[in-house]
Amino acid sequence: MKNNENANQRLDHCGFIFRLLFGAAAISVFTLISVATASADNSSHRPIAFTESGLVIGSTTDRGNEFLGIPYAAPPVGALRWTPPKPYGFFPGFVLQATQFGSACTQAGAGSENCLFLNVFTPHVKSDDGWSDRDRRRLPVMFWIHGGGLINGSSTPYNPELLVKKDVIVVTINYRLGFLGFFAQSAIDAEGHLNGNYGLMDQQFALAWVRRNIASFGGDPDKVTIFGESAGGQSVYAQLASPLAAGMFRGAISESGSYVEFQDYFADIVPLAVGETTGTTAVPSGAAIADSVGCTSQTASCLRAVPASTMVAAEPFPLYPFVDGTLLTQTMGAAFASGEFNQVPVISGTNHDEYRLFVALDYDLLGNPILTSGQYDTAVATLWGPALAPLVLTLYPFASYPTGGQALGASGTDGVFSCAARVADQSLEKFVPTYTYEFNDENAPPAQSAFGGLLTFPLGAYHSSELQYLFPGIDVFGLPTTLSSQQRRLSRAMVSYWTQFAKTGDPNSPGEPLWSPYSASTDEFQSLIPPVPVVESNFASSHQCSTFWDLF
């Protein structure tokens, strides 16, 4: 009898859901009629898609179709702060006008806790009926995770038109940042839910949303490739290592995500208990953070009442995920070395002069360029600490470089990014096809002259400089940038590699130079250099990997 009652309740629930969906469909008809009537150009129609939350109405631009600001989870505010993401529910009136980006997540000077939005970009309709060809094909999906040290950034600046024109769908997302997204504290962690890595949970929740809904936009839920840069690239590595992300994607691209997690001389990705009580040299413990924002009682209720801006003010740069035991059961480096990761094809790479960006931000652009050997010694000690600094000064002497900025940039690039990426690649290639690259455009915009004399050295192929080759018009230092004809040719090659990989799991196509999978025996990388990529065989020697950094 009880089973029958439960069955009837389920049927009643299903009937209720059906009535809601029927209502949404009816509303959509009237909405579409209104849109068509109001349109100044009745030869075209606004794109639509049905989702689990209701009807989404986007817009058509020269770049393709855009569905902006779609909430994929309930706002993580109030009692939902520091809990796993929850379903959003239904749109008011079951219809969403998806024509504006949603708020960025809380960060210094911007954002909101109500920020779990995603955007879907699709190619122009190509069928004769004027509405959709989604019933005739399913397009591969590229799922973009933005960077920003896990404390800033959003999906808004990334214009994926070059990718979309290659017949893929691109989804860009926001995820919780800073201490609101990555926080280990004993009272909160005792509540019985997933802990610590709330931003990574958001990414997985958005991936699950894509699997359930992307077919309505013309996408193939079984052909999802995750890609990201910097902290987004590190997030890609984390999702590769996460047992909870199994089956959510079939390919992964990490751009400059190989910092901290693949070197023994850094130890900033720590177990949750360490994050709660001890912290690291880079990030205070959860207990210390609670004290700093006025919650000496260490209660969850006190912490949830702290203004978001107060939490932001206490954040260092960057933050890191935790080994929480469930979402991450081990570090990314350990997972890759053991083969205990989501085994899908991978593109992994870095930029030739990654660390020069941070030298510029921390020294030159603050009015403190590294001009003397004494200043250089101090900068090296600050970056590498007392144990490594003397060795670094011997291998990267001030006198061997045109400027102090370039000298510090060299050790930072090699020790933080490049050699760590090679360690990851050598682990990955034992288990999955791994395509490795180095972005090598030493003249990537903006030019040194654009800074009005504030920079004492050229930026070269700096951290994040490859983004403008994939996402045109992206803001770089707030300065206008223009690619030369040779740089545009490189851009076309990169877009082809990235999108072909999303389509097939292999970046190669007849129109671009062959990119062979990485092998530790040959140690060859694809050098992304204008105008046409070439094979690079001196990566390890030029970055002092085998002779120095791999020894620690």
Nearest to 145 by CA among 100, 87, 210, 85: 210
Count CA within 13 A, CB hemisphere, residue 219.
Answer: 32
Is residue 254 among the annotated active site residues? no
The whole-angstrom separation of Cα 220 and Cα 402 is 51
Distance, in Å, from the CA atom of 428 to the CA atom of 440, rounded to the nearest integer, reads 23
534 CB-contact burial (10 Å; exposed 0-12 / middle 13-18 / buried 19+)? exposed
In whole angstroms, what separates CA 118 from the centre of its chain? 13
Contact by Cβ (8 Å): 412, 354: yes
DSSP-assigned letter for residue 534 = E
Taking the CA atoms of residue 503, residue 507, residue 512 and residue 517 in that order, the dihedral angle to the nearest 10 degrees is -160
Rounded to a whole number of angstroms, the distance between the first and last alpha carbons of the chain is 67
Pairing type for strands 346-351 and 251-255 reads parallel
DSSP 8-class letter at 479? B
CA–CA–CA angle 495, 318, 290 (5° rounding): 140
Distance CA 407, CA 11 (A): 69
Tokens 């933050």 belong to residue: 319
Instruction: Name the one residue in this structure whose structure tokens are 């989702």.
Output: 51
Indicate which residue of 53, 155, 230, 527 is catalytic.
230
Nearest residue to 487 via CA among 517, 540, 450, 447:
447
| Structural tokens at position 470 | 């994939």
Clarify whether 230 is annotated catalytic.
yes
Distances (CA, A) of 166 to 132, 137, 196, 219, 259: 17, 15, 38, 14, 31
* Cα separation values, 67 from 163, 180, 213, 247, Å: 16, 27, 13, 25
**Distance (Å, whole) CA 441 – CA 465:** 9
Count the residues in the chain: 552
Which amino acid appears at position 260 of this protein? V
Q: Residue 206: enclosing H or E segment and its boundaries?
A: helix 198-213
> With 0-12 CB in 10 A as exposed, 13-18 as middle and 19+ as buried, what is 508?
middle
**Closest to 507 in 3D by CA, of 166, 139, 247, 170:** 166
Q: Which alpha helices (H) appear in 436-548, and where do they start and end?
A: 467-470, 485-504, 539-542
User: Which of 161, 229, 276, 354 is the catalytic position?
Assistant: 354
- Strands (E) located in 193-319: 196-197, 219-229, 251-255
Question: Cβ atoms within 10 A of the Cβ of 215, count?
Answer: 18
**Count of alpha carbons within 13 angstroms of residue 434, beta-carbon side:** 26
Which residue numbers are catalytic?
Answer: 230, 354
